[in-house]
């Protein structure tokens, strides 16, 4: 027996321990009266089943919530709301999960239940974390941690630190992630919390994978799988195999990747974890595509599309049902309030004089009619003014979406055709390599969605650095720096933006399991910029600088930023370059060119591909 197998055998309970626990709880439930103990039994069942069948867990949590409400067991209501939210989150129903956790937070605050507040804050943080809204997640998790330190125990502290580590891992702050994981793992081992140990082992492997330390990562994943296997945790086994399959994919061992991911899919389907199933469909599509099995790749993409639609519809239906339930509850309260008000009003009327009432009503009718007519007229005028202002705001916003602000102002002032020469500007073209073969194996709707999300991501980078997107041509993206507002650091700003766009596309690959790369060509010099035409006019650039930048892109290499001698001379003291040597450009002859490698400080952009799978 290996050391690892011996450790697992000593550390973990028998395989059917969890099944016996579930069976025992169900047996208790058969004869349990409708009291607070039955609520707690239902909650215990939900907790046990989260790792094996989240849908069943949700049903038990729903039963506990209904019973707690009938019993007016306030703390049980908060606990059940949290339990329902956890099961919803595991199934990818994030809006539903957040709604229930916020309800639990409100309920716990009304009870001054500090532990309940901490639990709800922790769960809200987890909903944000799983959606990669890391800063928001850390905000809630830190609040929960502060409360756990005073009113919780080591187990709660370990769990919250664990998920804070996930957030830092998502942000690529690997040292911080490892610090939180190590602290949490130490606490888990002290408490002998087996599932927590397995989860943290898997996540440490995830960090090692992101760092490209594949052999070490595989050791951690195999260890985690053995732990989950002993716990009969189907969801955990699916996630560790998913991580393992990604490592094989990155090592270009596509046959092993397909085999491992198929095993992971089997466990995920048995666990009913549709969010994980959805991600595995995408991973298998990419692995089959890399193996040139385009038919299977397309099959898994279609399965993923169908499941995404199903998940969306169920999210919507569940959220609508919950909102409707709240509406009916509030409606009943309002009806009771109105009945009470009517009773009070009738009592006053009975005690009032008929003559005084008639006189008062006469005056009220007269003034009400006059006031109503005036109010209607003023309301109509205000509504018309509001509509006109809204239309103007929409028109201005649309114009600003297709034009720089200064150019938009000139168009609004009546100028139609104008151009201006800029002596110093930097232009670069960014083309998405590997996009054509990907497009051939995808549905048109999915293709447009991916391209749109990539370009929106690039738009955010340009806005951050103050650059202008000129236009997109298919899957190519044209950018200018130093116009229409002139700036001395135009080349530096363009370099920073280009490097960040390359890095952002790497992160995009991790999220969507694609293998796209950016091929960038950059040049600096004089350009002419302006607006021409009468219909479908657009802000555009002309000149030799634009043509050379385009040639640099077409003669470049995927994943690299190809620069001219002029760019190199401007940035060589501030950036890291790799000399490519002399190449021949059409219409320009031989030119000495360079690859921009890093921004000031020599920090290389990340180069690790693969989705961030954590628990």
Closest CA to 205 of 178, 237, 233: 178
Residues in a beta bridge with 427: 480, 523
Tokens 């760019």, located at residue: 567
Nearest alpha-carbon partner for 543 in 455, 457, 470: 470
Q: Which pLDDT belongs to residue 172?
A: 87
pLDDT band at 362 (very low <50, low <70, confident <90, very high): low
The answer to whether residue 409 scores a pLDDT higher than 60 is yes
| CA dist list (Å): 595 to 193, 519, 521, 591 | 51, 11, 9, 13
Q: In the predicted model, what is the mean pLDDT of residues 296-301?
A: 85
Domain borders along the chain are: 17-112, 114-192, 354-395, 417-598
Query: Which residues neighbour 566 within 8 Å (Cβ) at sequence distance 6 or greater?
Result: 523, 524, 525
Q: Is the predicted pLDDT of residue 209 greater than 80, yes or no?
A: yes
Q: Identify the weakest region by mean pLDDT among 271-280, 384-393, 441-450.
A: 384-393
Which residues, in sequence order, are bridge partners of residue 581? 593
Provide the pLDDT for residue 532. 64
Q: Is the pLDDT of residue 349 over 70?
A: no
| Residue recorded with tokens 């028109």 | 395
What is the C-alpha to C-alpha distance for residues 523 and 545, in angstroms, rounded to an integer? 6
More confident call, 147 vs 533: 147
pLDDT at 503 over 90: no
Does residue 17 register a pLDDT over 60? no
Q: What separation in angstroms does the CA of 533 have from each of 395, 474, 530, 539?
A: 19, 22, 10, 10
Kindly tell me if the per-residue pLDDT of 34 is higher than 70: yes
CA distance 435 to 437: 6
**What percent of the chain shows pLDDT beyond 90?**
27
Is the pLDDT at 405 greater than 80, yes or no? Answer: no
* pLDDT higher than 50, residue 605: no
Question: Do the domains spanning 17-112 and 114-192 agree at the CATH topology level?
Answer: yes
What does the CA dihedral 30, 32, 33, 38 come to, rounded to 10 degrees? -110
Q: Residue 446 and residue 452: Cα distance in Å, rounded?
A: 10
What's the rounded Cα separation, in Å, for the pair 418 and 539? 10
Residue 315 has pLDDT above 80, yes or no: no
> How far from the centroid of its chain's Cα atoms is residue 606's Cα?
20
Distance of CA 106 to CAs 14, 322, 353, 364, 378, Å? Answer: 40, 16, 48, 43, 41
CA distances from 164 to 25, 131, 158, 243, 510 (A): 32, 14, 10, 20, 20
Least confident of 87-91, 193-197, 265-269, 375-379: 375-379
Q: Say yes or no to pLDDT of 51 above 60.
A: yes
Tell me 575's DSSP state: S
Q: How many Å is the Cα radius of gyration of the chain?
A: 31
Task: Specify the CATH class of 114-192 in words.
Answer: mainly alpha
Inter-helix orientation angle 274-290/294-351, to 10°: 160
Task: Note the pLDDT of residue 164.
Answer: 92
Higher pLDDT, 268 or 1: 268
**Residue partners of 220: CB distance under 8 A and separation at least 6:** 201, 202, 204, 205, 208
Q: Is 59 helix (H, G, I), strand (E, B) or coil?
A: helix
pLDDT at 615: 43
Q: What is the pLDDT of residues 541-567, one digit of tens each?
A: 888 888 899 889 888 888 899 999 999
Question: Which pLDDT band holds residue 360 (cuts at 50, 70, 90)?
Answer: low
Average pLDDT, the chain: 78
**Residue 333: exposure state from Cβ atoms within 10 A (0-12, 13-18, ≥19):** exposed
**Structural contact between residues 524 and 563, judged by C-beta atoms closer than 8 angstroms:** no
Instruction: Please check the confidence at residue 536 and state whether its pLDDT lies above 60.
Output: no
**CATH fold of 417-598:** Alpha-Beta Plaits (3.30.70)
pLDDT of residue 611: 30
Query: In 3D, which of 487, 583, 564, 463 has the Cα closest to residue 522?
Result: 564
pTM of the model: 0.50
Predicted confidence at residue 225, as pLDDT, reads 94
pLDDT at 498: 93
Closest C-alpha among 313, 238, 318 to residue 283: 238
Is beta strand 517-532 parallel, antiparallel or unpaired with respect to 418-433? antiparallel
Would you say residue 509 has pLDDT above 70? Answer: yes
Q: Is the pLDDT of residue 610 over 70?
A: no
Token pair belonging to 594? 């360079």
Whether pLDDT at 176 is above 60? yes
123 versus 315: the higher-pLDDT residue is: 123
Q: Is the predicted pLDDT of residue 289 greater than 70, yes or no?
A: yes
* Span 141-167, average pLDDT: 88
Residue 79's pLDDT band (cuts 50, 70, 90)? very high
pLDDT tens for 441-483 read 666 766 777 777 788 888 888 888 889 888 888 778 899 998 8
Give the confidence band of 612 by pLDDT, cuts at 50, 70, 90: very low
Please name which of 129, 122, 90 lies closest in space to residue 104, comparing C-alpha atoms. 122
Q: What is 17-112's CATH topology?
A: 1.25.40
Give start and end residues of each alpha helix (H) in 12-93. 17-31, 36-49, 54-71, 74-90
| pLDDT bracket for residue 46 (50, 70, 90) | confident
**Spatial CB neighbours of 82, under 8 Å, sequence gap ≥ 6:** 100, 101, 104, 116, 119, 120, 123
Q: Give me the pLDDT at residue 77, please.
A: 93
pLDDT of 122 reads 93
The pLDDT value recorded for residue 607 is 35
């Amino acid at each position: 027996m290996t050391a690892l197998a011996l450790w697992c055998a000593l550390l973990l309970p028998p395989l059917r321990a969890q099944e016996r626990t579930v069976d025992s709880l169900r047996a208790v439930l058969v004869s349990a009266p409708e009291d607070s103990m039955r609520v707690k039994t239902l909650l215990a069942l939900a907790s046990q089943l989260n790792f094996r069948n989240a849908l069943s867990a949700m049903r038990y949590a729903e039963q506990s919530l209904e019973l707690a409400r009938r019993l007016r067991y306030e703390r049980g209501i908060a606990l059940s709301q949290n339990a329902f939210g956890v099961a919803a989150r595991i199934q990818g129903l994030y809006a539903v999960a957040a709604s229930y956790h916020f309800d639990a937070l409100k309920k716990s605050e009304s009870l001054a239940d500090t532990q309940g507040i901490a639990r709800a804050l922790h769960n809200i943080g987890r909903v944000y974390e799983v959606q990669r809204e890391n800063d928001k997640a850390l905000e809630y998790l830190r609040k929960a941690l502060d409360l756990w330190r005073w009113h919780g125990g080591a187990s709660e502290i370990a769990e919250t630190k664990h998920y804070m580590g996930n957030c830092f891992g998502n942000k690529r702050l690997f040292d911080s992630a490892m610090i939180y994981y190590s602290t949490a793992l130490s606490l888990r081992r002290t408490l002998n919390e087996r599932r927590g140990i397995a989860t943290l082992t898997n996540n440490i492997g995830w960090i090692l994978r992101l760092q490209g330390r594949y052999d070490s990562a595989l050791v951690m994943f195999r260890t985690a799988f053995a732990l989950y296997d002993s716990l009969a945790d189907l969801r955990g086994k699916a996630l560790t195999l998913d991580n393992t399959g990604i490592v094989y994919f990155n090592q270009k061992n596509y046959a092993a990747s397909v085999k491992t991911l198929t095993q992971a899919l089997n466990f995920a389907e048995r666990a009913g974890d549709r969010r994980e199933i959805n991600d595995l469909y995408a991973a298998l599509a990419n692995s089959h595509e890399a193996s040139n099995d385009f038919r299977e790749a397309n099959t898994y993409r279609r399965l993923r599309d169908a499941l995404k639609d199903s998940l969306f519809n169920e999210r919507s239906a569940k959220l609508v049902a919950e909102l409707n339930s709240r509406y009916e509850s509030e409606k009943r309260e309002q009806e009771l309030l109105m009945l009470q008000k009517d009773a009070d009003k009738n009592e006053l009327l009975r005690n009032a004089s008929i003559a005084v009432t008639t006189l008062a009503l006469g005056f009220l009718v007269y003034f009400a009619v006059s006031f109503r007519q005036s109010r209607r007229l003023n309301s109509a005028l205000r509504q018309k003014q509001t509509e006109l202002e809204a239309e103007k705001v929409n028109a201005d916003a649309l114009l600003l979406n297709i034009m720089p602000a200064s150019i938009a102002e000139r168009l609004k002032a009546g100028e139609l055709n104008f151009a201006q020469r800029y002596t110093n500007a930097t232009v670069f073209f960014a083309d998405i390599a590997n996009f054509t073969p990907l497009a051939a194996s995808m549905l048109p709707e999915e293709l447009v969605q991916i391209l749109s999300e990539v370009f929106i991501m690039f738009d955010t980078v340009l806005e951050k650095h103050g650059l202008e997107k000129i236009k997109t041509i298919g899957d190519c993206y044209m950018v200018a720096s130093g116009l229409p507002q002139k700036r001395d650091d135009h080349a530096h700003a363009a370099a920073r933006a280009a490097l960040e766009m390359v890095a952002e596309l790497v992160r995009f690959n991790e999220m969507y399991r694609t293998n796209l790369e950016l091929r960038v060509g950059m040049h600096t010099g004089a350009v002419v910029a302006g607006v021409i035409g009468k219909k479908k006019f657009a802000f555009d650039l002309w000149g030799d600088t634009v043509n050379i930048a385009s040639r640099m892109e077409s003669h470049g290499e995927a994943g690299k930023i190809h620069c001219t001698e002029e760019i190199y001379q401007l940035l060589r003291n501030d950036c890291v370059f790799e000399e490519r040597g002399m190449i021949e450009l059409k219409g320009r002859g031989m030119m000495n060119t360079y690859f921009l490698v890093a921004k000031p400080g020599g920090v290389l952009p990340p180069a690790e591909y693969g989705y961030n799978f954590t628990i």
